[in-house]
A and B are shown apart, each in its own frame.
Chain A
Amino acid sequence: MKRNFFMAFMVIFCFVLQSTLFQTLSFGGIAPNLLIIITAIFGFMCGKKCGLWVGFFAGLLYDIFFGSVLCYHAMILMYIGYMNGYFKQIFYKDDVKLPILMIFASDMVYNLIYYILMFLLRGRFHFGFYFMHIIIPENVYTILVTILIYPLIRDMIYRLEDAGQRGDDSFA
Protein backbone atom coordinates (compact mmCIF):
# COMPACT_ATOMS: atom_id res chain seq x y z
CA MET A 1 0.00 0.00 0.00
CA LYS A 2 2.80 2.33 1.00
CA ARG A 3 4.63 1.50 -2.18
CA ASN A 4 1.57 2.24 -4.29
CA PHE A 5 1.35 5.69 -2.75
CA PHE A 6 5.02 6.17 -3.35
CA MET A 7 4.59 5.13 -6.99
CA ALA A 8 1.69 7.53 -7.51
CA PHE A 9 3.65 10.31 -5.86
CA MET A 10 6.74 9.65 -7.99
CA VAL A 11 4.74 9.60 -11.23
CA ILE A 12 3.08 12.95 -10.48
CA PHE A 13 6.27 14.46 -9.12
CA CYS A 14 8.33 13.42 -12.14
CA PHE A 15 5.68 14.55 -14.60
CA VAL A 16 5.46 17.99 -12.99
CA LEU A 17 9.26 18.34 -12.94
CA GLN A 18 9.52 17.07 -16.50
CA SER A 19 7.01 19.53 -17.91
CA THR A 20 8.26 22.57 -16.01
CA LEU A 21 11.76 22.60 -14.57
CA PHE A 22 13.39 20.19 -17.01
CA GLN A 23 12.10 22.18 -19.95
CA THR A 24 14.02 25.21 -18.72
CA LEU A 25 17.10 23.04 -18.13
CA SER A 26 17.02 21.74 -21.69
CA PHE A 27 20.08 22.06 -23.89
CA GLY A 28 19.33 23.09 -27.44
CA GLY A 29 15.67 22.25 -27.04
CA ILE A 30 16.38 18.72 -25.82
CA ALA A 31 15.14 17.70 -22.38
CA PRO A 32 15.83 14.42 -20.59
CA ASN A 33 13.02 11.90 -20.35
CA LEU A 34 12.21 11.52 -16.67
CA LEU A 35 9.13 9.40 -17.30
CA ILE A 36 11.21 6.71 -19.02
CA ILE A 37 13.63 6.73 -16.10
CA ILE A 38 11.03 6.04 -13.43
CA THR A 39 9.14 3.54 -15.59
CA ALA A 40 12.32 1.53 -16.15
CA ILE A 41 13.48 1.80 -12.52
CA PHE A 42 10.18 0.59 -11.11
CA GLY A 43 10.17 -2.12 -13.78
CA PHE A 44 13.48 -3.76 -12.95
CA MET A 45 13.35 -3.06 -9.22
CA CYS A 46 9.77 -3.97 -8.34
CA GLY A 47 8.72 -6.29 -11.12
CA LYS A 48 6.59 -6.44 -14.23
CA LYS A 49 3.32 -5.26 -12.69
CA CYS A 50 4.88 -2.24 -11.05
CA GLY A 51 6.56 -1.26 -14.28
CA LEU A 52 3.32 -1.77 -16.13
CA TRP A 53 1.29 0.47 -13.82
CA VAL A 54 3.91 3.19 -13.51
CA GLY A 55 4.37 3.25 -17.29
CA PHE A 56 0.65 3.32 -17.86
CA PHE A 57 -0.07 6.23 -15.54
CA ALA A 58 2.99 8.22 -16.56
CA GLY A 59 1.99 7.84 -20.19
CA LEU A 60 -1.63 8.63 -19.43
CA LEU A 61 -0.67 11.91 -17.77
CA TYR A 62 1.41 12.78 -20.80
CA ASP A 63 -1.48 11.94 -23.12
CA ILE A 64 -3.98 14.02 -21.16
CA PHE A 65 -1.82 17.11 -21.38
CA PHE A 66 0.11 16.82 -24.60
CA GLY A 67 -1.07 13.82 -26.57
CA SER A 68 -3.51 13.92 -29.43
CA VAL A 69 -4.97 10.48 -28.64
CA LEU A 70 -5.53 9.14 -25.13
CA CYS A 71 -3.54 6.06 -24.03
CA TYR A 72 -1.05 6.29 -26.85
CA HIS A 73 2.03 7.02 -24.78
CA ALA A 74 0.44 5.05 -21.96
CA MET A 75 0.63 1.91 -24.06
CA ILE A 76 4.24 2.41 -25.21
CA LEU A 77 5.43 3.17 -21.68
CA MET A 78 3.37 0.32 -20.26
CA TYR A 79 5.14 -2.19 -22.50
CA ILE A 80 8.53 -0.66 -21.68
CA GLY A 81 7.82 -0.99 -17.96
CA TYR A 82 6.67 -4.56 -18.43
CA MET A 83 9.74 -5.53 -20.45
CA ASN A 84 11.99 -4.02 -17.79
CA GLY A 85 10.26 -6.27 -15.27
CA TYR A 86 11.92 -9.30 -16.90
CA PHE A 87 15.29 -8.04 -15.69
CA LYS A 88 14.30 -8.08 -12.04
CA GLN A 89 15.85 -11.53 -11.68
CA ILE A 90 19.36 -10.36 -12.59
CA PHE A 91 19.11 -7.02 -10.78
CA TYR A 92 21.02 -6.50 -7.55
CA LYS A 93 21.40 -3.40 -5.46
CA ASP A 94 24.96 -2.27 -6.07
CA ASP A 95 25.03 -2.85 -9.80
CA VAL A 96 24.93 0.41 -11.75
CA LYS A 97 25.56 -1.03 -15.20
CA LEU A 98 22.22 -2.76 -15.55
CA PRO A 99 20.07 0.27 -14.68
CA ILE A 100 22.01 2.51 -17.03
CA LEU A 101 21.91 -0.04 -19.80
CA MET A 102 18.19 -0.68 -19.27
CA ILE A 103 17.27 2.99 -19.23
CA PHE A 104 19.40 3.62 -22.29
CA ALA A 105 17.71 0.77 -24.14
CA SER A 106 14.24 1.86 -22.97
CA ASP A 107 14.75 5.44 -24.10
CA MET A 108 16.09 4.25 -27.44
CA VAL A 109 13.18 1.90 -28.02
CA TYR A 110 10.67 4.55 -26.96
CA ASN A 111 12.10 7.13 -29.34
CA LEU A 112 12.40 4.70 -32.24
CA ILE A 113 8.77 3.64 -31.85
CA TYR A 114 7.77 7.26 -31.54
CA TYR A 115 9.69 8.21 -34.68
CA ILE A 116 8.22 5.39 -36.71
CA LEU A 117 4.62 6.00 -35.64
CA MET A 118 4.53 9.78 -35.53
CA PHE A 119 7.05 10.87 -38.15
CA LEU A 120 7.87 8.08 -40.58
CA LEU A 121 4.20 7.41 -41.26
CA ARG A 122 3.69 11.09 -42.08
CA GLY A 123 6.44 10.97 -44.68
CA ARG A 124 9.34 12.42 -42.71
CA PHE A 125 11.99 10.06 -44.03
CA HIS A 126 15.13 11.84 -42.93
CA PHE A 127 15.89 9.35 -40.18
CA GLY A 128 19.57 10.29 -39.85
CA PHE A 129 18.67 13.81 -38.85
CA TYR A 130 16.13 12.81 -36.23
CA PHE A 131 18.49 10.17 -34.91
CA MET A 132 21.42 12.54 -34.52
CA HIS A 133 19.49 15.60 -33.35
CA ILE A 134 16.71 14.21 -31.17
CA ILE A 135 17.25 10.60 -30.21
CA ILE A 136 20.98 10.56 -29.39
CA PRO A 137 21.02 13.87 -27.44
CA GLU A 138 17.95 12.83 -25.47
CA ASN A 139 19.58 9.45 -24.72
CA VAL A 140 22.80 11.01 -23.50
CA TYR A 141 21.01 13.61 -21.39
CA THR A 142 18.68 11.01 -19.95
CA ILE A 143 21.63 8.81 -18.97
CA LEU A 144 23.33 11.75 -17.25
CA VAL A 145 20.19 12.49 -15.26
CA THR A 146 19.87 8.79 -14.46
CA ILE A 147 23.34 8.70 -12.93
CA LEU A 148 22.33 11.59 -10.68
CA ILE A 149 18.89 10.49 -9.54
CA TYR A 150 18.99 6.68 -9.76
CA PRO A 151 20.72 6.21 -6.34
CA LEU A 152 18.12 8.47 -4.72
CA ILE A 153 15.12 6.58 -6.06
CA ARG A 154 16.78 3.20 -5.36
CA ASP A 155 17.43 4.10 -1.73
CA MET A 156 13.89 5.39 -1.31
CA ILE A 157 12.43 2.15 -2.65
CA TYR A 158 14.68 0.07 -0.41
CA ARG A 159 13.85 2.10 2.67
CA LEU A 160 10.16 1.72 1.91
CA GLU A 161 10.46 -2.03 1.54
CA ASP A 162 12.50 -2.40 4.72
CA ALA A 163 9.93 -0.40 6.67
CA GLY A 164 6.99 -2.41 5.36
CA GLN A 165 6.74 -6.03 4.35
CA ARG A 166 9.17 -7.38 1.82
CA GLY A 167 6.45 -8.82 -0.36
CA ASP A 168 7.40 -8.78 -4.00
CA ASP A 169 4.89 -7.87 -6.64
CA SER A 170 2.23 -7.30 -4.01
CA PHE A 171 0.57 -4.72 -6.20
CA ALA A 172 -2.82 -5.35 -7.83
Chain B
Amino acid sequence: MRRKRQKFTIPSKYLLLIMTCVCVLLMTVTFFTDLIVAPFGRIAGVVIVPFQSGVSRIGGWLTDRSEELQTIRDLMAENESLRAQVDALTIENNSLQQDKYELNHLRELYKLDQEYEEFHKIGARVVSSDSGNWFHSFVIDKGSLDGIAPDMNVMAGSGLVGRVTEVGDDWAKVMAIIDDDSNVSAMVLSTEDACMVQGNLETMNNSGVITFSKLINGEKPVQEGDKVVTSYISTKYLPGILIGYVTHVSADANNLTSSGYITPAVDFAHLEEVLVITDLKKDYSGVLDE
Protein backbone atom coordinates (compact mmCIF):
# COMPACT_ATOMS: atom_id res chain seq x y z
CA MET B 1 0.00 0.00 0.00
CA ARG B 2 2.69 2.47 1.03
CA ARG B 3 4.97 1.36 -1.78
CA LYS B 4 2.28 2.10 -4.31
CA ARG B 5 1.79 5.59 -3.00
CA GLN B 6 5.50 6.25 -3.07
CA LYS B 7 5.54 5.60 -6.78
CA PHE B 8 3.38 8.65 -7.38
CA THR B 9 5.99 11.08 -6.03
CA ILE B 10 7.34 13.57 -8.50
CA PRO B 11 11.15 13.77 -8.88
CA SER B 12 12.40 16.78 -7.00
CA LYS B 13 13.74 18.65 -10.03
CA TYR B 14 10.33 18.59 -11.70
CA LEU B 15 8.75 19.69 -8.44
CA LEU B 16 11.19 22.60 -8.36
CA LEU B 17 10.32 23.48 -11.93
CA ILE B 18 6.58 23.33 -11.25
CA MET B 19 6.86 25.44 -8.11
CA THR B 20 9.03 27.97 -9.94
CA CYS B 21 6.33 28.32 -12.57
CA VAL B 22 3.70 28.71 -9.84
CA CYS B 23 5.82 31.40 -8.19
CA VAL B 24 6.39 33.33 -11.40
CA LEU B 25 2.69 33.12 -12.19
CA LEU B 26 1.65 34.34 -8.75
CA MET B 27 4.24 37.11 -8.90
CA THR B 28 2.96 38.43 -12.20
CA VAL B 29 -0.65 38.16 -11.08
CA THR B 30 -0.04 40.04 -7.83
CA PHE B 31 2.13 42.58 -9.58
CA PHE B 32 -0.62 43.58 -11.98
CA THR B 33 -3.77 42.92 -9.94
CA ASP B 34 -4.89 42.62 -6.33
CA LEU B 35 -7.00 39.51 -6.93
CA ILE B 36 -5.39 36.79 -4.85
CA VAL B 37 -3.78 38.80 -2.09
CA ALA B 38 -7.05 39.10 -0.17
CA PRO B 39 -7.80 35.37 0.40
CA PHE B 40 -4.16 34.68 1.32
CA GLY B 41 -4.24 37.61 3.69
CA ARG B 42 -7.46 36.37 5.26
CA ILE B 43 -6.05 32.91 5.92
CA ALA B 44 -2.83 34.34 7.33
CA GLY B 45 -4.80 36.78 9.45
CA VAL B 46 -6.72 33.96 11.07
CA VAL B 47 -3.72 31.68 11.58
CA ILE B 48 -0.81 33.98 12.36
CA VAL B 49 -1.99 37.31 13.74
CA PRO B 50 -3.46 35.96 17.02
CA PHE B 51 -0.09 34.36 17.82
CA GLN B 52 1.75 37.49 16.87
CA SER B 53 -0.37 39.73 19.06
CA GLY B 54 -0.02 37.31 21.94
CA VAL B 55 3.74 37.00 21.70
CA SER B 56 4.29 40.69 21.12
CA ARG B 57 2.13 41.51 24.14
CA ILE B 58 4.30 39.23 26.31
CA GLY B 59 7.46 40.66 24.76
CA GLY B 60 6.19 44.17 25.29
CA TRP B 61 5.41 43.42 28.92
CA LEU B 62 8.90 42.02 29.51
CA THR B 63 10.69 44.96 27.90
CA ASP B 64 8.45 47.34 29.83
CA ARG B 65 9.46 45.74 33.13
CA SER B 66 13.19 45.77 32.36
CA GLU B 67 13.03 49.34 31.08
CA GLU B 68 11.16 50.39 34.18
CA LEU B 69 13.99 49.20 36.40
CA GLN B 70 16.62 50.87 34.27
CA THR B 71 14.94 54.18 33.93
CA ILE B 72 13.74 54.92 37.45
CA ARG B 73 16.94 56.76 38.29
CA ASP B 74 16.93 58.66 35.03
CA LEU B 75 13.33 59.58 35.62
CA MET B 76 14.05 61.08 39.01
CA ALA B 77 16.68 63.38 37.54
CA GLU B 78 14.42 64.15 34.64
CA ASN B 79 11.56 64.90 36.98
CA GLU B 80 13.56 67.65 38.63
CA SER B 81 14.34 69.37 35.40
CA LEU B 82 10.82 68.89 34.11
CA ARG B 83 9.34 70.53 37.19
CA ALA B 84 11.41 73.59 36.49
CA GLN B 85 10.26 73.45 32.92
CA VAL B 86 6.62 73.15 33.97
CA ASP B 87 6.90 76.40 35.87
CA ALA B 88 8.38 78.15 32.89
CA LEU B 89 5.76 76.65 30.58
CA THR B 90 2.88 77.60 32.85
CA ILE B 91 3.88 81.21 32.56
CA GLU B 92 4.23 80.85 28.83
CA ASN B 93 0.93 79.02 28.63
CA ASN B 94 -0.88 81.83 30.33
CA SER B 95 0.25 84.30 27.77
CA LEU B 96 -0.55 81.84 24.99
CA GLN B 97 -4.04 81.34 26.38
CA GLN B 98 -4.58 85.02 26.04
CA ASP B 99 -3.30 84.88 22.50
CA LYS B 100 -5.56 81.96 21.72
CA TYR B 101 -8.57 83.78 22.99
CA GLU B 102 -7.69 86.62 20.72
CA LEU B 103 -7.06 84.21 17.84
CA ASN B 104 -10.44 82.51 18.27
CA HIS B 105 -12.05 85.86 18.26
CA LEU B 106 -10.28 86.82 15.07
CA ARG B 107 -11.09 83.46 13.47
CA GLU B 108 -14.72 83.97 14.16
CA LEU B 109 -14.46 87.24 12.43
CA TYR B 110 -12.92 85.58 9.39
CA LYS B 111 -15.28 82.60 9.64
CA LEU B 112 -12.44 80.17 9.31
CA ASP B 113 -12.93 76.56 10.24
CA GLN B 114 -10.32 74.42 11.87
CA GLU B 115 -10.77 71.68 9.35
CA TYR B 116 -7.53 69.80 9.41
CA GLU B 117 -7.24 69.65 13.15
CA GLU B 118 -10.22 67.38 13.33
CA PHE B 119 -9.19 64.15 11.68
CA HIS B 120 -11.00 61.05 12.89
CA LYS B 121 -8.47 58.71 14.43
CA ILE B 122 -8.46 55.22 15.88
CA GLY B 123 -5.68 53.74 17.95
CA ALA B 124 -3.97 50.47 17.06
CA ARG B 125 -1.22 48.34 18.50
CA VAL B 126 1.85 47.25 16.53
CA VAL B 127 1.87 43.45 16.61
CA SER B 128 4.82 42.60 14.40
CA SER B 129 7.41 44.28 12.28
CA ASP B 130 9.17 43.38 9.06
CA SER B 131 11.29 40.36 9.87
CA GLY B 132 13.96 41.22 7.32
CA ASN B 133 16.52 43.92 7.82
CA TRP B 134 16.12 45.71 4.51
CA PHE B 135 12.75 47.42 4.78
CA HIS B 136 10.62 49.04 7.45
CA SER B 137 7.02 48.00 7.49
CA PHE B 138 4.92 46.60 10.29
CA VAL B 139 1.55 45.04 11.04
CA ILE B 140 -1.11 46.53 13.31
CA ASP B 141 -3.98 44.73 15.04
CA LYS B 142 -6.87 46.61 13.40
CA GLY B 143 -8.20 45.82 9.95
CA SER B 144 -11.07 46.35 7.55
CA LEU B 145 -13.59 45.28 10.23
CA ASP B 146 -12.48 48.29 12.27
CA GLY B 147 -12.89 50.56 9.28
CA ILE B 148 -9.32 50.67 8.06
CA ALA B 149 -8.70 50.96 4.34
CA PRO B 150 -5.55 51.18 2.21
CA ASP B 151 -3.85 54.59 1.94
CA MET B 152 -5.02 55.74 5.34
CA ASN B 153 -2.34 57.78 7.11
CA VAL B 154 -0.75 56.52 10.29
CA MET B 155 0.60 58.76 13.04
CA ALA B 156 2.35 58.26 16.35
CA GLY B 157 2.41 61.11 18.81
CA SER B 158 2.53 64.22 16.69
CA GLY B 159 4.42 62.84 13.72
CA LEU B 160 3.69 60.91 10.55
CA VAL B 161 4.59 57.22 10.67
CA GLY B 162 3.47 56.07 7.23
CA ARG B 163 0.44 54.81 5.44
CA VAL B 164 -1.59 51.63 5.28
CA THR B 165 -0.71 49.56 2.23
CA GLU B 166 -2.61 46.31 2.75
CA VAL B 167 -5.63 45.40 4.84
CA GLY B 168 -6.93 42.10 6.19
CA ASP B 169 -10.00 41.52 8.35
CA ASP B 170 -8.26 42.28 11.61
CA TRP B 171 -4.79 43.34 10.57
CA ALA B 172 -3.24 45.94 8.33
CA LYS B 173 0.24 46.48 6.95
CA VAL B 174 1.80 49.89 7.34
CA MET B 175 4.72 51.13 5.27
CA ALA B 176 6.83 53.55 7.30
CA ILE B 177 8.15 56.79 5.81
CA ILE B 178 11.68 55.61 6.61
CA ASP B 179 11.19 52.57 4.37
CA ASP B 180 13.67 52.63 1.50
CA ASP B 181 10.76 52.42 -0.93
CA SER B 182 8.70 55.24 0.52
CA ASN B 183 8.15 58.66 -1.04
CA VAL B 184 6.15 61.45 0.59
CA SER B 185 5.23 64.72 -1.03
CA ALA B 186 6.08 67.31 1.60
CA MET B 187 6.64 70.99 2.18
CA VAL B 188 8.81 73.05 4.46
CA LEU B 189 6.49 74.86 6.81
CA SER B 190 8.44 78.10 7.11
CA THR B 191 8.84 78.76 3.39
CA GLU B 192 5.96 76.63 2.03
CA ASP B 193 8.29 75.21 -0.60
CA ALA B 194 7.41 71.71 -1.79
CA CYS B 195 9.84 68.79 -1.75
CA MET B 196 9.91 65.01 -1.84
CA VAL B 197 10.82 63.06 1.30
CA GLN B 198 12.34 59.67 0.62
CA GLY B 199 13.10 56.93 3.10
CA ASN B 200 16.69 55.78 2.94
CA LEU B 201 18.10 52.72 4.65
CA GLU B 202 21.68 53.98 4.44
CA THR B 203 21.22 57.38 6.08
CA MET B 204 18.67 55.99 8.55
CA ASN B 205 21.18 53.40 9.66
CA ASN B 206 24.10 55.81 9.84
CA SER B 207 22.58 58.79 11.59
CA GLY B 208 18.84 58.29 11.97
CA VAL B 209 17.85 60.69 9.19
CA ILE B 210 15.95 60.34 5.92
CA THR B 211 16.55 62.27 2.73
CA PHE B 212 14.58 64.94 0.95
CA SER B 213 15.14 66.26 -2.54
CA LYS B 214 13.67 68.48 -5.25
CA LEU B 215 13.21 71.35 -2.82
CA ILE B 216 12.83 74.38 -5.06
CA ASN B 217 15.08 77.22 -3.95
CA GLY B 218 12.69 79.98 -3.01
CA GLU B 219 13.32 83.54 -1.95
CA LYS B 220 13.80 82.61 1.67
CA PRO B 221 16.45 79.95 2.33
CA VAL B 222 15.42 76.88 4.30
CA GLN B 223 17.09 76.75 7.71
CA GLU B 224 18.18 73.73 9.69
CA GLY B 225 15.51 72.91 12.25
CA ASP B 226 12.62 73.97 10.03
CA LYS B 227 9.52 71.80 10.28
CA VAL B 228 8.64 69.61 7.33
CA VAL B 229 4.97 68.65 6.94
CA THR B 230 2.95 66.71 4.37
CA SER B 231 1.97 68.91 1.48
CA TYR B 232 -1.38 69.86 0.03
CA ILE B 233 -0.59 68.32 -3.35
CA SER B 234 -0.01 64.78 -2.10
CA THR B 235 -2.51 62.22 -3.37
CA LYS B 236 -2.14 59.86 -0.42
CA TYR B 237 -1.18 61.95 2.58
CA LEU B 238 -3.42 64.43 4.36
CA PRO B 239 -1.97 67.94 4.52
CA GLY B 240 -0.18 69.44 7.48
CA ILE B 241 1.03 66.34 9.31
CA LEU B 242 4.48 66.77 10.81
CA ILE B 243 7.14 64.58 9.19
CA GLY B 244 10.26 65.86 10.90
CA TYR B 245 12.86 68.57 11.08
CA VAL B 246 15.42 69.64 8.51
CA THR B 247 18.91 68.74 9.74
CA HIS B 248 20.99 69.49 6.69
CA VAL B 249 20.43 71.37 3.43
CA SER B 250 22.71 71.60 0.43
CA ALA B 251 22.11 73.03 -3.02
CA ASP B 252 21.98 70.62 -5.93
CA ALA B 253 24.35 70.89 -8.89
CA ASN B 254 21.66 72.55 -11.00
CA ASN B 255 21.37 75.40 -8.47
CA LEU B 256 17.58 75.37 -8.79
CA THR B 257 16.77 72.78 -6.19
CA SER B 258 18.16 71.64 -2.87
CA SER B 259 18.30 68.36 -1.09
CA GLY B 260 19.31 67.22 2.36
CA TYR B 261 18.32 65.30 5.43
CA ILE B 262 15.33 65.25 7.76
CA THR B 263 15.18 63.86 11.28
CA PRO B 264 11.80 62.11 11.62
CA ALA B 265 9.55 63.33 14.42
CA VAL B 266 8.65 59.77 15.36
CA ASP B 267 10.93 57.37 17.21
CA PHE B 268 10.68 54.41 14.86
CA ALA B 269 12.77 52.12 17.05
CA HIS B 270 10.19 52.11 19.84
CA LEU B 271 6.87 52.10 18.09
CA GLU B 272 4.14 50.39 20.11
CA GLU B 273 0.89 52.23 19.59
CA VAL B 274 -0.08 54.21 16.54
CA LEU B 275 -3.07 56.29 15.47
CA VAL B 276 -4.71 55.58 12.14
CA ILE B 277 -6.47 58.54 10.56
CA THR B 278 -9.65 57.16 9.05
CA ASP B 279 -10.15 60.13 6.75
CA LEU B 280 -8.79 59.47 3.30
CA LYS B 281 -7.15 62.14 1.23
CA LYS B 282 -9.48 61.62 -1.71
CA ASP B 283 -12.53 62.11 0.54
CA TYR B 284 -10.83 64.93 2.34
CA SER B 285 -10.90 67.24 -0.69
CA GLY B 286 -14.64 66.53 -0.86
CA VAL B 287 -15.04 67.76 2.70
CA LEU B 288 -13.35 71.00 1.76
CA ASP B 289 -15.83 71.61 -1.03
CA GLU B 290 -18.89 71.36 1.21
User: Hey, which bits of chain A sit against chain B, CB under 8 A?
Assistant: 12, 15-24, 29-31, 33-35, 47-49, 52, 56, 60-62, 64-66, 68-72, 74-75, 78-79, 82, 85, 114-115, 118-119, 122, 124, 126, 129-130, 133-134, 138, 169-170, 172
Contact = CB atoms under 8 A, between A and B. Distances in A.
Nearest to A50: B12
Contacts of A47: 12
A135 to B, nearest CB: 9
Given A16-B48, A19-B52, A20-B127, A78 B269 contact: no
Interface string B1-41: 00000100110100110011011101101110000110011
B52 A85 contact: no
B31 A69 contact: yes
A35 B131 CA distance: 9
A170 B6 contact: yes
B55 A133 contact: no
A119 B133 CA distance: 13
B95 interface: no
A71 B48 contact: no
A172 B6 CA distance: 9
Nearest to B29: A70
Given A49-B12, A82-B12, A62 B131 contact: yes
Interface size class of B (residues with CB under 8 A): 35 or more
B59 interface: yes
Contact of B132 (A20, A60, A66, A130): A66
Nearest to A21: B59
Nearest to B5: A170
A75 B20 contact: yes
A16 B133 CA distance: 16
A65 B205 contact: no
B39 to A, nearest CB: 10
B130 interface: yes
Nearest to B139: A65
A114 B205 CA distance: 18
Nearest to A126: B202
A132 to B, nearest CB: 10
A130 B127 CA distance: 27
B16 A23 contact: no
Contact of A85 (B12, B19, B30, B206): B12
Given A52-B19, A64-B40, A119-B134, 8 more contacts: A15-B48, A29-B269, A31-B133, A33-B133, A65-B48, A68-B181, A75-B23, A122-B181
- Which of B12, B63, B181 has the most chain A CB atoms closer than 10 A to its own CB? B12
- Which of A71, A74, A78, A130 has the most chain B CB atoms closer than 10 A to its own CB? A71
Interface string B205-227: 11000000000000000000000
Interface string B163-186: 000000000010000001100000
- Which of B19, B24, B30, B47 has the most chain A CB atoms closer than 10 A to its own CB? B19
Given A65-B44, A72-B27, A172-B9, A19 B16 contact: no
B131 A21 contact: no
